Structure formats: structure tokens, C-alpha cells
Amino acid sequence: MADFSSIPIIDFGRLQDPSTREETLVQLREAIFLVGFLYLTNHGMEAVIQKAHATLPDLFALPPEVKEKCNMIHSPSFVGYTRLGAETTAKQTDWREQFDFGTPGMKQWTPNDPIWQRLEGDSQYPDYPGTRELVEEYIAESAKLSKIFMRYVAECLSLPPTTFEAFKGNMDRLKFIKYPQSPPGSQGVGPHKDSSGLFTFLSQDDTGGLQVLNKKGEWIDAPPIEGSLVVNIQQGFEAITGGVCTATTHRAPTSKTRYSIPFFLGVRMDLMLAQLKESAAHIVQRIPASDDRKKRAVDVPSEFLSPLYSCFGEAYLRNRILSHPDVGQKWYPELYEKYSKQVLT
């Protein structure tokens, strides 16, 4: 089967319409199996997305001292502000600044809890009117949309609609990102697969810049489509489906200023590797065979599929510590030393 040269478009309204659902489920299945990326239109989140994008330029224009008050360095949960150049992907500096947020109302961590449970903590908010309310509204609407979307994903894979609800985590994550014009040879964010859970729902502005890698090694542009969300498989979903549905490598080179808002649908942190293998085997048996379901692109290492880690929480903590080394060294110094020397197997 030919490799993909563009990103498919899925009309969410057609999934909800009984007269067009079956046809659209076939299209969704092809997008999930063959690409790992899709545009989702008519999703119902247009109003809050427009509100958020209107806020972002002013939010990032806040004085540095205001943004630094909620710097991620203050959070063992890796939420808060990240200044330009403080995050890395594939050991290279990312040329972007961002605010990370999480689902509100998480349980307070205690020393009796697993160390990775510290990842589920309260967000920090910049001192800008309405930010917290906007973030919580955006997360709530995204969580509602993603729950329905995941049921359609299960259906298109010939699985019961609620199959993936057992894997849903407590905490989803949301980023507000600014990619400024980057110096020659730098990266907005380098080639990577999303690692925090099940699926990503990305709203991008009209600037463009997102690229997706196909199995031929070609970078395919994912230009903005007004009103759409770009949805892609994360490494958690790849693991849950036993690698049948694979996360696709992507990047965001930047030649001019760009804003984006990704929502990351979280996976259960307490999922053990043994449980995962058992569940994946069951799911794989139920999914129809596809002659093009193998990995479609040059892989980046996946800690979620590594036997070094017994559960998702431990794997994701490693990911956060190495992506934000300053935060990792402050809150998890021993783990930082351990993980920075490890080679994934």
C-alpha cells in the first residue's frame, strides 16, 4: 500500500450522524492504521479555541519576571512556565517557550505514594486575568471531546466502544506554546513522538510549521485548516495496542513566530508492564489485520515499551526528567543521575 503524502481529514459531525458513521469509521480506521495523524473538523470546540488563541500573544508578552513566578522549576509535577531554550528533545535545545497545565483537583502526593505520582499535581498559573478559568474550560471541553473520540476509535478497530476507557489516566495536560522565529540550525521542537498518554489534540494558528514523517523518511507538511484540530497517536496508545497503532514521528521547525495549543489525553500511571502486555495481546487479537500496520517512520526510542520500567508512571517520569533537566535535577536528583546514563532497550 502506498505511503501517505498528506494528512487525512475526519469530519466529527459525520461520525455522530448515523447515516454517515460507518463510512467515516472506515476513514478513521485508515487514518489510525496508516498515518497516525488526522485533522478533526466540526468538533464543537471552536469558541474556546478562538478565545485561547486570542489570549496567547498577550500572555507571552508578559514581563519575564511575571512569567518566572510560575516557572516549572517550582513544580515537581512539571507544570508551569518554561523559558525559551530550557527544554530539550533528542538532546537538542527546543526554541520555544510554553506554559504547561494539568487537570485540576489532583490528589496531594505524600511520601507513602509512588514517586511517579508526584507528576499528578496542581498547576501554576501566570498572573494574567482569566487564565485559570480559560485553562480549566479548555481542559474540560477537550476531555469531553476526547472521550467521545476514543469510543469512535475503538469502534473503527472493531472493539467495544468503551475498550480504552480502562486505560484513561487521572491527569490530562495542556500546553500554551510560542515558537519565535528561530536562529539558523535550531529547532522549534525536534523530531519526536508524543509521550504523555493516549492521543494529542492540537490547535495550531494560521502560520504552519508542523511536519509528519512517513515511512519513506519524507517530511509531510500538516498545514493549518481553519477550525480543525490535528489529532495524533501517542506512545501510550501505541503500547496499549501492542504496536499495531503506532505513534508517528513529527517536528515543528520554525521560520517565523507561531502559536499552538496541544491537549494531551493522559494514560493511567499505575499500569504495570505485565498488565499492559496482557491487555495488548487481547486487543491485538480483536483488531483486523492490516498489511501496513508496522512502524511507518524512523523511530525515536520509546521508554513506554522498554522493560526497564514496570509502569507508565515510571516511564513518563523519566521522560519529564530528561526533557526538563533543571526541574529533574532539583526535585529528583538521584533519578536524574540514573536516567541520564541509561540507554533504552
- From first to last of the 345 residues of the chain, give the pLDDT tens digit: 458 989 999 999 999 999 999 999 999 999 998 899 999 999 999 999 999 999 999 999 999 999 999 999 999 999 999 998 766 665 666 788 999 999 999 999 999 999 999 999 999 999 999 999 999 999 999 999 999 999 999 999 999 999 999 999 999 999 999 988 876 655 456 788 887 789 999 999 999 889 999 988 899 999 999 999 999 999 889 888 888 888 899 988 777 899 999 999 999 999 887 787 787 788 878 776 654 444 443 455 566 667 788 888 998 899 899 989 999 999 999 999 999 988 776
pLDDT at 274: 78
Cα–Cα distance for residue pair 205/58, rounded to 1 Å: 15
Nearest alpha carbon to residue 127 among 174, 80, 76, 79: 80
pLDDT at 297: 39
Angle formed by the axes of helices 333-341 and 312-323, to 10°? 90
pLDDT at 100: 98
pLDDT at 277: 78
Cα separations (Å) of 316 from 110, 176, 178, 249, 311?
A: 19, 20, 24, 18, 9
End-to-end CA distance of the chain: 30
CATH class for the region spanning 9-341: mainly beta
10 Å Cβ neighbour count for 104?
Answer: 13
pLDDT at 290: 55
pLDDT at 187: 47
Query: Would residue 169 be called left, alpha or beta, if left means φ above 0 and alpha means ψ between -120 and 50 degrees?
Result: beta
Q: Are strands 219-221 and 211-213 parallel, antiparallel or unpaired?
A: antiparallel
Cα–Cα distance for residue pair 257/234, rounded to 1 Å: 26
pTM of the model: 0.91
Amino acid at 134: L
pLDDT at 298: 43
pLDDT at 240: 86
Q: Are 6 and 230 in contact (CB under 8 A)?
A: no
